[in-house]
Amino acid sequence: MAAVRVDKGIHRALSLRAGLTGLYLACVLGLGLYSLWPRLFPRFTPISEAQGLSATPVPSSSPTPPLAPTSAHPVSLNRATLEELEALPGIGPALARRIIEGRPYTSVDDLQRVRGIGERTLQRLRPLVTP
Amino acid sequence: MIPYALGAGALLGALTQESPWALLGLLVGLWLPERVRWPALGAFGLVVLRLSTLGDPWADQIGRGVVLEGQLRDGFLQTPQGGVYVRHFPPLEDGVYRLQGTLVGPQAKRNPGGFDQGLWLKGLGVKAVLEVRQVLSQQPAPPTYRDRYRQALQARLSPEVAALATALTLGEREGLGQLYGAFQQAGLAHALALSGLNVGILVGAALLLLYPLGPRRYWVALPLAWAYVLLAGSSPSLFRASLMATVVLVALALGKGRSSLISGLMLALAVHLIWEPYGIFSLSFWLSYLAVLGIAVVLPVLPRPKGWWGYVGGVFALTLCAQIFLIPILLHHFNQLPLLSPIANLVVLPFLNLLVPLTFIKGLWSGFAGVLASPVELLSQLSIGLTRWLAEGPQLYWGQISPAGFALYYLGLIPLLLALYQQIAWRPALLLGSVALLSSLLPTQFDRAEIWQLDVGQGDASLIRLPDQTAVLVDGGRPYAADRVVRALHALGIRKLDLVVATHPDADHIAALPEVLARVPVGAVLAGPPQPQNPLDLALRGAAQTVGTPVMTALRGSSLRLGEARLTFLGPQGTEPDDNARSLVFVLEWRGRRALFTGDAPAPSEAAWPALPIHLLKVGHHGSKTSTGEGLLEKTRPQVALIGVGRNNYGHPSAEVLARLGRYGVEVHRTDREGAIRVQLW
């Protein structure tokens, strides 16, 4: 009799423990899922690359994007170093050297004298440089 | 068991302020075993009763003009009707005032990491803010004992040491300035909150001196603790410490022996909440109670080596135990946790422990001032020097934590605590704990790009955040907004920006950026063509040069890849005569989702952009009628629109634009209405 009662006691303790462990795991995983939930369902339908951005030719003044570091101030055509000139969009080492050789400049428009700088490059450089 | 029942009952009673569901606690209470049923229900009932006496004295006057009269202290005006927080620029000196102004409700939090005035005042039991229009009369307050005390305390000390001494004894931290930040970064800020440190040292010293009185000395020491509360003013931590000291002293006086820390804490919790039920909204309330709870629960079961190492280990263990329940709260609110704090507590705390009684005695009588000035000066300089040095130590940085994150942290601790108490074996405990850890990491595996339109008042500041931790800030608002932006970045767990886009040099867009650049590491700045005549543009480029951040120029056709995302610039051409028209305009594309950022670009510029469908539109020029034309909406068809706008005289956002957005079925969010807005780009 006694052995059976002890057995029952152990059994009850074990099932209580299993129940608590189950409750714990349910709580923990539930919380994880609760935070995950809003990330699972997309709100916007994705647009394929073909629509818009890449398909629409941007009527840009230059084929290469004019993304280049500039110093804190506009670059001075008459005083800038070779490196500063090379940092300008669309200006390579050769053009930079020719710009230096073409000094002095009285206005930005004088840049057109430099071989290799056309109307379009000039338009792009205009806001970035001073004489 | 009774202290636990009292504490739990009171806590549940206080929680009825937050949600009426806490009233269900009554049902649980009735089901409790008889021995603890009535204490628990009694504490619950007392808190609810106290709450009913605390009504809102200002409820029917919110939004009205009023004239209030009373004593102003630390920004709070005490009137016969009740307390009110006073807003006036510059802040008013303490004194007796007659003030005319408007009563308003407290401001809720506007931005991630922003100051939550509403919650702060709620935790102090203050329900309204007086926006002062006119000071009708002003008299200096009659000097109190506190003022005389402060004078004697500060006499013959150098300014910084005087500020530290005032903070340590009276809890006035305003004078510390940047030194307080150093204490925070060294993990020593808790020493500057009046608490058990002060009360314990004071009561302990009194008991030593009163030893000849025998058991009666406990009754004599009791009023001392409360006299200190009267002197320094009640803060949650000091109130808690004095309540716990009372429990200990009364138990000793009645010959019940030393009460356990945890039952003292629970009794203090019950009395505290019956007296100030609004304490549950106060951050310092929770910091104070949870720190002691950690010490009470974890410290007794930790192994403790003997000898000198025992002392070092003891200080380390104490620091860790005090922090174990605080870690998520500290990270959530302060976004950093000093990793050296155990060492700082080991090295600096002994000096501060010596300083507390010295400064306390120094303030009591000006005759002491001369004698004690030099030791206080020496000890303080030493502590300050060490603190400054330790503040340079490594920090654990973290963003704000979601409620689920908090729950998972505490759930994860439970099996470990049970293992410490030998209720379960270590192996299953670690297993269960790691399930909680993994569960908290689960959502991070599904991070999505998100866009925040921050509330910077009238102005624009947008933040792009990609799952690979790339962060881009687009504009920052006026100069005063810089602090909000930096706090928001820290609260979102962003410690460095990969890119800052300055759309165009207008004050409400880029004036905050120089300070942001100075305070947050930035990979690169993207701006329009340089404007040598524009002081704001020069200031931005100067600030970038100072910190060595390159400034790049973007024009129409520029494009930039940032991890999985691409920024494609639709404008400007760079030759437009007008500042707004030269705004950098770009499309952010991430996994096929697109957001268009427009700066202040006007309708004629919009006409030049290509027709492309987008999901999210940052509305141009704060919703001005000069932007967001019919044509733009027709060719882009956004689903969600964000408007960065605050109180202004320009009429932003215009009814015309709002109506137009409505016609196209766009979901509109405004920062002036909602504060910061978050949109998951998914």
Residue B14's pLDDT band (boundaries 50, 70, 90)? very high
Residue of B nearest to A130 (CA): B532
pLDDT tens for each residue of B192-249: 988 888 898 889 888 998 899 888 899 999 998 899 999 888 899 999 999 999 999 9
> What is the DSSP secondary-structure string of chain A?
-HHHHHHHHHHHHHHHHHHHHHHHHHHHHHHHHHHHHHHHS-SSPPPPTTTTTTTS----S-SS---EEE-SSPEETTT--HHHHHTSTT--HHHHHHHHHT---SSGGGGGGSTT--HHHHHHHGGGEE-
| B52-107 tens-digit pLDDT | 998 888 999 999 999 999 999 889 999 998 999 999 988 898 899 999 999 999 99
CA distance A113 to B135: 70
Helix (H), strand (E) at residue B434: helix B426-441
pLDDT at B656 > cutoff 50: yes
Q: What is the mean pLDDT of residues B658-674?
A: 95
User: Cβ of A53 under 8 Å from any chain B Cβ?
Assistant: yes
Mean pLDDT lowest for which of A103-112, B102-111, B656-665?
A103-112
pLDDT over threshold 90, residue A75? no
Task: Show which of residues 511-570 on chain B sit within 8 Å of chain A, judged by CB atoms.
Answer: 524, 529-530, 532, 538, 541-542, 544-545, 550-560, 568-570
Q: What is the mean pLDDT of residues B105-128?
A: 94
Answer yes or no: is pLDDT of A69 > 90.
no
Q: At what angle do helices B216-232 and B236-253 cross, to 10 degrees?
A: 170
Percent of chain B topping pLDDT 70: 100
Per-residue pLDDT at A3 exceeds 60 = no
Helix/strand/coil (H/E/C) assignment for every residue in B247-275: HHHHHHHCCCCCCCHHHHHHHHHHHHHHH
Question: A70 vs B530: CB contact, 8 Å cut-off?
Answer: yes
Residues of A in contact with B638 (CB under 8 A): none
* Chain B residue nearest residue A17, CA to CA: B424
B436, pLDDT greater than 60: yes
Position A66 confidence tier, pLDDT thresholds 50, 70, 90: very low
Mean pLDDT of B158-165: 94
The whole-model pTM stands at 0.86
A101 compared with B428, residue with greater pLDDT? B428
User: pLDDT tens for residues B583-602?
Assistant: 999 999 999 999 999 999 99
pLDDT for the residue A50: 53
* Contacting B residues, span 338-377, partner chain A, CB-CB under 8 Å: none
Task: Give the pLDDT mean for B375-383.
Answer: 95
Cβ <8 Å between A39 and B592: no
Q: Are A71 and B552 an interchain contact pair (Cβ–Cβ within 8 Å)?
A: no
Mean of the per-residue pLDDT values of chain A: 74
What confidence tens digit (pLDDT) does each residue in B475-499 have? 999 999 999 999 999 999 999 999 9
Residues written for chain B? 682
Distance CA(B395)–CA(B537), nearest Å, equals: 34
Residue A71, pLDDT above cutoff 50: no
CA dihedral for B1, B2, B3, B4, sign (positive or negative): positive
**Does the pLDDT of residue B563 top 90, yes or no?**
no
Interval B357-375 mean pLDDT: 86
For residue B394, what pLDDT is reported? Answer: 95
Tens digits of per-residue pLDDT, B37-61? 999 999 999 999 999 998 888 999 9
Mean pLDDT for all residues in chain B:
93
**Which amino acid is residue B438, in one-letter code?**
L
- Can you tell me the ipTM of this complex? 0.85
* Residue B654: how many other CB atoms lie within 10 Å: 18
Q: What is the pLDDT of residue A4?
A: 59
CB pairs under 8 A between A and B: 152
